Amino acid sequence: MKEALTNNPDEVTNLFTAASDKSYYKASGDSAIKKERYKESGLADRFSDIIQDAIRTTPDAKSNLGTLIMKAGQVGDASEYTNSLIKEILGFDKTIDDLNEKLTSKENTLYAKYANMEKMLSQMSSQSNWLASQFSSGQ
């Protein structure tokens, strides 16, 4: 690394600061131009492009917003309610609702079984009392 800085300082500088004549905005709509821009750019512009791709609030040629905007949404924008995190949360909400319905159904089934068991125990107790009275009256 030190050798490269000493012997080729311009190339090292160029590695970080090279700039393409294609703008980010022009390249964001065309993959061929984007590839050319990438090849011509230094590391600083490449990092900048990656960050811009993540936070872009204007749609690209495929009508996609930045990856972070699509994932988390942007307050005041339609993406606030259509982003993938909201969709995931809504999916969890539906799962919770479905599980609550199943739980309520299971609970109602168990209550019905318990009530039926209480009824049967009451009948058994009545029969037992009747039978006991039959034995005691027969003596």
Distance CA 90, CA 96 (A): 10
Give percent of the chain above pLDDT 90: 49
Is it the case that residue 49 has pLDDT exceeding 80? Answer: yes
pLDDT of 139: 60
Cα 82 from Cα 86, distance rounded (Å): 6
d(CA 18, CA 20): 7
3 state SS of 124: helix
Q: What share of the chain is helix, strand, coil (3-state, %, to 5)?
A: 75, 0, 25
pLDDT per position as a tens digit, 20-42? 999 888 887 788 988 999 999 99
pLDDT tens by residue, 104-138 = 999 999 999 999 999 999 999 999 999 999 888 76
SS3 36: helix
Distance between alpha carbon 63 and the CA centroid of its chain, in Å? Answer: 21
pLDDT score of 88 more than 80: yes
Residue ranges per domain, the chain? 1-82, 89-139
Q: What span, in angstroms and rounded, lies between the C-alpha atoms of 65 and 82?
A: 12
Mean pLDDT of the chain: 89
- What is the reported pLDDT for 138? 62
